[in-house]
Structure 1
Amino acid sequence: MKIKPIFLSLLIFGFFCNPKAMCAQDNPLTDDLGNVSDSFQDNFFEALKQKGIENYELALNALEKAEVAAGDNQANKAVVYFQKGKNLAFLKRFEDAEKNYNLVLEWSPNRLDVLEALYDMYYDTKNYKAAIPLVKKLILQDTDYKEDLANLYHRTKQYDKALILLDELDKEWGETTYRNALKTQIYRRTGNTEKAINKLEENITKNPKSEQEYLNLIYLYSDQGNVQKAFDIAKELLKQQPNSQLVHLALYKFYLDDGDFDKAITSMQVIFSSNLIESNSKNSVLKDFLIFTNNNPTLKIKVDGLITDVLEQDNSQVFLLLGDYYLSESNKEKALFYYKKGIDSDPDNYGLIKNTILLQIELEKYKDAILLSTDGLEIFPAQPLLYLVNGVANNELKNAEQAVEILEMGLDYLFDDPKMEYDFYQQLSIAYTLKENAKKANIYYKKATQLSITNQKTDH
């Protein structure tokens, strides 16, 4: 069985490079199938279809059949092996995927797309040593991979090789922020921080407007424990680039430690209003500041002023931090306000829902607690605590029927939590007492009492 050259070319180049694009073509393949068997064609295209809808096991079944149908045709088999490798990688069966990729490379050692797929897999699975010889092959076809090789040397702790290659790339292509950052990491890991500092200072002399070089230098001096030098560099960066936002991630901390609270607040206002700074960094800054205020009571009057800027972020994690802060200050109403804002921002956040309802119960806002726990149960129907607090709130409002119904429903979701089980029984006893059903109330009272004794023994 032979295959026409034009079909072979399309099959190898098309499927290796872009299977979906191949399927999208109108008819050129079917017009040029030559002696390819119907069985091979049908199973191969079935595999592509199943892979496209993420049915990788079914795709592999079809590919097994296509492999059999390919017979002795090594070109067709190579295409099958490549697709098998991809599907196996999606299923995280990496050893089997590697075997199939290598079967293709035995037939065509320099296939760029196969080498790239195998490299991606090695990198994703952190098999950096195996990736190195592969990337060396890729460099022969695409010199951009030299930067990948430097990174792999770094990851495999071959620091000398990494630095030599990075220097070569700087001479060939000019310096980049990425390569300078990689060098800095290597200098730090090899304990040669001074060399990293000297290099960064040299770069800053050449280009005083390079924000990233300043930031790397601030980090290195801070890492060394030379806080004053880091602070000086941060101020120099602000002088060179008054509109820099990232520098304030360092400055706010220096200002706080220096007791210059007004400037610290100004830096934090820049941080919270910045579109360049990620939410996680903003959360860390706020957390730092709130911790700092606990140890510096004079700063507490500054919190409300800062919060005006924080509120514009619409970030549930920020609202959770603020709620926790005001709760620690025993300002429960304010804590509740921020917890509720957090839920408005992120209604699926169970931690916020729980904190809010417990505070509502404590502040005797029972109707609000019922509404929020009811909404919460639509999202988290298997959370027993939501049934419990709903029952507590209904009991407090003398809604005995609703309390019994929700509490008995919640018992079905309890698992190995005797303390919460005790609370359920206690609330059910209260609910049946409200219903004037003394018999049922006594049954649950006895269950609660028995669990209380058991819990006390466990605690001791």
Structure 2
Amino acid sequence: MKHLLVTIFLFTGVCTSKLSAQEVPAPLQEVAIDDLGEVSDAFQEFFFEALKQKAIENYEKAIDALRECEKIQPNNPVVFFELGKNYKSLNDFENAINNFQKANRLQPNREWILQALMESYYLNKQYEQAILVNKELVSYNEKYYDDLAKMYFELQQFDKLIALLDQLDVELGVTEYRNSLRQQIYALTNNTSAQIKTLEESITLNPENEMNYLNLIYVYSDEGLEKEAFETAQKMQQLFPTSKVVHLALYKFYLNNNRTDEALTSMRLVLESEEIDVALKFKVLNDFLLFVNENPKFDKDLKQVAELFSEKENSPEIFQKFGEYFLQKKEKTQALAFFEMGIGSNVDNYELLKNTLLLQLDLLKYEDASRLSSSGLEIFPAQALLYLIKGAALNNLKKYNEAQEILTFGLDYLIDDVDMERDFYEQLSVAYTGLGNSSKASEFKEKANSIKKTEN
């Protein structure tokens, strides 16, 4: 039985780093716990009963079993940790906190225990206590700073929050989340003039902190002070000639003033930057997409920057998002161009594959549809739709024998889809017509018509 509780602890899961989040299993390498020694068979029986009851959400019964464990081993931190988790699942945060505190006293300096304690304090709206625990947790992982920011926001301690956001932007780089939080603070406090003054004073005192310039640019922009915002951006660029962050502001000014070449340069610098997060980069791309919507002559440029983003962030999904955007606008040629760019490195994305093939058929690109559906069938050999699309493409290429074979084969994978069944029959009728087999063509045409009559 030696090491039993170590094994149990590894597989019972710990709290996540996000406040209010549900419990999820933690990676094994994140957990380390001392050998807890021998345990009795009775302890083992009650403990596994507790785990079983918790798994089926019978938290009260799990607590009863853990109390029996406590009687056998009254100073076992794992028992109190499990009690805390069950009470937390019952939204009994007072008891959850009490048990996590006991676990922490018995087994101090364990990240997962502190994390669970912080979350319980937060859920119980004891923000000050949660902040105290958080300050211990940030030594384990910088991710806990986001929790600290959220708690400062809940307490409306906006001065502390702004200072924290500025610190994190400098240390960790700019993120969309922190920018959004900062803008919410400005809106809530409705004190933009004071914010501008504070930022201007900060620049005077610390002219080498580029985040102060960027934040001032955002405030000016939100207030419609475009001239002041642009002048600040230009000054920032002069002071920090190698900065990529300044281009988050510059590209928008250039776009708004039809200085497209300069906008493209700024966007490329943003997309290449390691210090700017993906969400902000996607916002840059989206702004350019809207610009291209009004100025279609820049389509090629949009594709180039989208390719740069995809390559830099290893995110071919960007092409799917752009394709869906144009598809909603019924601009099918544009949509297909982006879908095809995405599917080249993402052929195992079935939704993207389907959209690409259907548009290829719609736009009469039968050779492309035939090739792509063949590639798709290698990955998704049981998808009836891919057989149907390949058969339709082959029919339009007048390759009737191949079409008849693939359509007949694909029918075996069709399950409870009357509309697709009708389409299979119609395409088989076309294939047999092309092969000169009029009786078979009529047979499948009649099958398709009978389904239409049923639907009507």
Query: TM-score under structure 2 normalisation?
Result: 0.68
SS of corresponding position for 1:237: helix
Which residue is 1:428 aligned to?
A: 428
The structure that has the greater radius of gyration is 1
Contact 1:387 1:410 in 2 (8 A): no
Contact 1:183 1:196 in 2 (8 A): no
Which residue is 2:260 aligned to?
A: 261
Which residue is 2:125 aligned to?
A: 130
Which residue is 1:104 aligned to?
A: 99
Aligned in 2, Cα 1:221/1:453: closer, same or farther, shift over 3 Å? farther
Q: Distance in 2 between matches of 1:165 and 1:330?
A: 48
Q: How does 1:27-426 map to 2 (within 5 A)?
A: 29-30=36-37, 37-40=40-43, 44=47, 67-71=67-71, 74-76=74-76, 79-86=78-85, 88=86, 94-95=89-90, 98=93, 101-102=96-97, 104=99, 114=113, 116-121=115-120, 127=123, 130-132=125-127, 134-135=129-130, 138=133, 151-155=150-154, 158-159=155-156, 162-163=157-158, 176-177=167-168, 185-296=184-295, 299=298, 313=312, 315-320=315-320, 339-361=339-361, 366=366, 368-380=368-380, 383-396=383-396, 397-398=399-400, 399-412=402-415, 414=417, 418=419, 420-426=420-426
Q: Distance in 2 between matches of 1:368 and 1:298?
A: 26
Contact 1:369 1:393 in 2 (8 A): yes
Contact 1:360 1:369 in 2 (8 A): yes
1:318 CA drift (Å)? 4.4
Higher helix share: 1
- Unaligned 5+ segments in structure 1 are 1-14
Cα RMSD of the aligned pairs, angstroms, is 4.9
Contact 1:426 1:448 in 2 (8 A): yes
Q: 1:351-370 deviations in whole A, cap 9, x for unaligned?
A: 43234323544566545433
Aligned in 2, Cα 1:301/1:141: closer, same or farther, shift over 3 Å? closer
SS of corresponding position for 1:277: coil
- Most deviating of 212-221 and 287-296: 287-296
Contact 2:121 2:129 in 1 (8 A): no
Aligned in 2, Cα 1:454/1:283: closer, same or farther, shift over 3 Å? farther
Q: Distance in 2 between matches of 1:143 and 1:321?
A: 35
What number of residue pairs does the alignment pair up?
A: 407
Q: Distance in 1 between matches of 2:381 and 2:132?
A: 54
Letter matched to residue 393 of structure 2: A
1:445 CA drift (Å)? 2.0
Aligned in 2, Cα 1:306/1:107: closer, same or farther, shift over 3 Å? closer
Q: Distance in 1 between matches of 2:251 and 2:135?
A: 48
Q: Distance in 2 between matches of 1:214 and 1:184?
A: 15
1:238 CA drift (Å)? 1.0
1:439 CA drift (Å)? 4.9
Q: Distance in 1 between matches of 2:105 and 2:247?
A: 49
1:371 CA drift (Å)? 3.9
1:315 CA drift (Å)? 4.1
1:263 CA drift (Å)? 1.4
RCO (CA 8 Å, sep 6+): is it higher in 1 or 2? 2
Contact 2:384 2:414 in 1 (8 A): yes
Aligned in 2, Cα 1:183/1:440: closer, same or farther, shift over 3 Å? closer
1:389 CA drift (Å)? 0.5
Query: TM-score under structure 1 normalisation?
Result: 0.68
Q: Distance in 2 between matches of 1:360 and 1:19?
A: 48
